[in-house]
């Protein structure tokens, strides 16, 4: 018996049972992560790794409590087809507000930071880590990440969203609001903009209640991969 194994079992049956329980728990964790679509885990996130991942349909999800970054290609992917975009009637009041101003790429860093604070406040933690913020700021500088901002009549940022664009596909990352409806207004402006540039869908990664309410749905990973390749071949220019 190897030294390591003898040490494990030297205290008798209790040690053996503990060892087997630990192995069972580890196997369950591995199976659970596979079911989520985790394809790899790293201890860093870089501009290059993010761009490479999105080209293949993979997206990063940093751990809020540590340095690890999961890279996901889930078995079911959230997608919003613009032909199925159906905002609820209650959103009409949001669109008609003349005291709100919508802009694109005027305050990217502020939008990301606001999303970070928004999720940390609501959930107690957030995947938008300080280093993540730095990487996405650099992506924006390179023209690969974009934001939509909503401002009130006093010039205060009250809502917005941001995402990554790689090879003509917009992948939404996060949104926030400080005034009810502001993030929804940003989403409607985004869809209008993307449609004007020839896009017919956007990657939502997951289907949150807000996206579900406007028609987003899950599609199988295989279908998403085909859609990804077909759209990349169009070489769409979504932003200046």
At 43-69, the pLDDT tens digits run 889 999 999 999 999 999 998 877 899
Tokens found for residue 51: 């761009």
pLDDT computed for residue 178 by the predictor: 96
Asked if residues 62 and 81 have their Cβ atoms less than 8 Å apart, the reply is: no
Backbone angles phi, psi at 191, to 5 degrees: -60, -45
Q: Which of 201, 223, 228, 203 is nearest to 78 (CA)?
A: 203
With 60 as the cut, is the pLDDT of residue 25 above it? no
pLDDT computed for residue 15 by the predictor: 66
What band does 11 get if pLDDT is binned at 50, 70 and 90? low
Which residue is associated with the tokens 């996901």? 72
pLDDT computed for residue 28 by the predictor: 44
pLDDT computed for residue 100 by the predictor: 96
Which residue is associated with the tokens 């401002």? 151
pLDDT computed for residue 6 by the predictor: 47
Mean pLDDT of 135-158: 98
Which residue is associated with the tokens 């023209």? 143
Mean pLDDT of 32-39: 68
- Provide the percentage of residues in the chain whose pLDDT is more than 70: 85
With 50 as the cut, is the pLDDT of residue 8 above it? no
Q: For residues 191 and 189, what is the distance between their CA atoms, to the nearest angstrom? A: 6
> Does the 76-232 domain belong in CATH 3.50.50.60?
no
pLDDT computed for residue 132 by the predictor: 94
| DSSP string of 29-98, one letter each residue | HHHHHHHHTEEEEES---HHHHHHHHHTT-EEEE-TTSS-EEEE--SEEEEEEGGG----GGGHHHHT-T
pLDDT computed for residue 69 by the predictor: 94
Asked if residues 112 and 162 have their Cβ atoms less than 8 Å apart, the reply is: yes
Tokens found for residue 74: 């889930």
Q: Which has more confidence, 27 or 201?
A: 201
At 85-109, the pLDDT tens digits run 999 988 888 888 889 999 999 999 9
pLDDT computed for residue 84 by the predictor: 98
pLDDT computed for residue 1 by the predictor: 47
Q: Give the chain's mean pLDDT.
A: 89
Domain chopping of the chain, boundaries: 1-36, 76-232
Q: Is 126 helix (H, G, I), strand (E, B) or coil?
A: coil
Q: Is the pTM of this model over 0.75?
A: yes
């Amino acid at each position: 018996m190897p030294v390591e194994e003898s040490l494990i079992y030297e205290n008798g049956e209790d040690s053996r049972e503990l060892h087997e329980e630990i192995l069972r728990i580890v196997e369950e964790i591995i199976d659970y992560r596979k079911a989520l679509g985790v394809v790899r885990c790293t201890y860093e996130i870089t501009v290059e790794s993010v761009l490479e991942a999105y080209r293949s349909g993979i997206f990063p999800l940093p751990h809020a409590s540590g340095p690890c970054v999961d890279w996901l290609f889930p078995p079911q992917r959230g997608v919003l087809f613009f032909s199925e975009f159906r905002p609820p009637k209650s959103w009409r009041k949001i669109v008609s507000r003349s005291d709100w101003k919508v802009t694109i790429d005027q305050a990217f860093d502020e939008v990301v930071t606001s999303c970070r604070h928004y999720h940390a406040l609501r959930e107690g933690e957030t995947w938008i880590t300080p280093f993540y913020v730095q990487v996405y700021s650099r992506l924006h500088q390179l023209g690969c990440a974009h934001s939509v901002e909503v401002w009130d009549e006093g010039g205060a940022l009250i809502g917005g969203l941001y995402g990554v664009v790689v090879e003509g596909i917009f992948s939404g990352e996060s949104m926030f609001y400080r005034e009810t409806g502001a993030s929804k207004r940003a989403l409607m402006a985004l869809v209008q903009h993307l449609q004007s540039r020839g896009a017919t869908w956007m990657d939502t990664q997951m289907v949150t209640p807000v996206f579900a309410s406007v028609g987003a749905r899950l599609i199988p990973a295989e279908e998403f991969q085909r859609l990804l390749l077909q759209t990349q071949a169009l070489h769409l220019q979504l932003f200046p």
